[in-house]
Amino acid sequence: MSEVMNITVTVNGTQYRRTVEPRLLLSDFLRHDLGLTGTHVGCEHGVCGACTVLLDDVPVRSCLVFAVQANNHTVTTVEALGTPDNLHPIQEAFRESHAVQCGFCTPGILMSLVPFLQENPDPTEQQIREAISGNLCRCTGYQHIVDAVKLAAEKMKASEGVKP
């Protein structure tokens, strides 16, 4: 094992101190060290988008960031969105529009959409397709996901400014 470093990362509002190797990817840190397995790991080279999380409120591929780079930064994962009893409007919209089939890509898509809908509360279909172009889904053919985003935008406008 190579040399290790102590890091402090705030994930979903909780501060975690851990000792990690510099080569540990943020995605593996979240899943293995913190047990937050909502973040999925697909391709590990930045193509599939399943591991998308927010780093200081900006969507990034957590497989393309080292955990040590998140030292003293803030990470938001899909676990922060909602609970089974109290879903985030985006999650509700996904459920209602049947935008989830196997669900593997869903966490990454949700985390790409949270900042997108904050910046674009009234998106066009073109903008939606552009926003999820970095997230591969092999089940749905995307149509129901696009429908869900439109529905989510309506829900979020109705409930004004819901944040994770």
Partner 1 sequence: MKPAPFKYYAPSTVDEALARLAEHGWDAKVLAGGQSLIPMMNFRLAQPSVLVDLNGVSELFYIRPGKDSGLSIGAMARQRQVELDPLVAQRAPMLHEALPKVAHPQIRSRGTLGGSIAHADPSAELVALSVAQDGRFRLRSKQRGERWVAAADFFLGLFTTVLEPDELLMEIVLPPMPPRSGWSFMEVARRHHDFALVGVAAIATLDQAHDPATAKCEQARLVYFSVGDGPVEALQAEAVLKGQEPTPEAILEAAETAGNLDVDPNSDINASAEYRRHLVKVLGRRALTEAFARARVGK
Which residues lie near partner 1 (CB under 8 A)?
Answer: 1-3, 5, 21-23, 25, 28, 44-46, 49, 52, 55, 58-61, 63-66, 68-69, 71, 112, 116, 129-131, 133-134
Helix (H), strand (E) at residue 115 = helix 106-119
Closest CA to 50 of 126, 114, 132: 132
Is the CB of 10 or the CB of 96 nearer to partner 1?
Answer: 10
> Residue 158 Cβ, how far from partner 1 at the closest point, in Å?
26
In the bound state with partner 1, the residue whose beta carbon lies nearer, of 73 and 157, is: 73
CB of 69 to partner 1, least distance (A): 6
Distance (Å, whole) CA 136 – CA 49: 7
Q: Minimum distance between the CB of residue 98 and partner 1, rounded to whole angstroms?
A: 23
∠ CA 94-96-98, nearest 5°, is 65
Q: Which is nearer to partner 1, 74 or 92 (CB)?
A: 74
Nearer to partner 1, 96 or 118 (CB): 118
The token pair at 87 is 């879903």
User: What gap in Å lies between CA 6 and CA 72, rounded to an integer?
Assistant: 11
Least Å distance between CB 86 and partner 1? 27
Non-local (6+) Cβ contacts of 120 within 8 A are: 127, 131
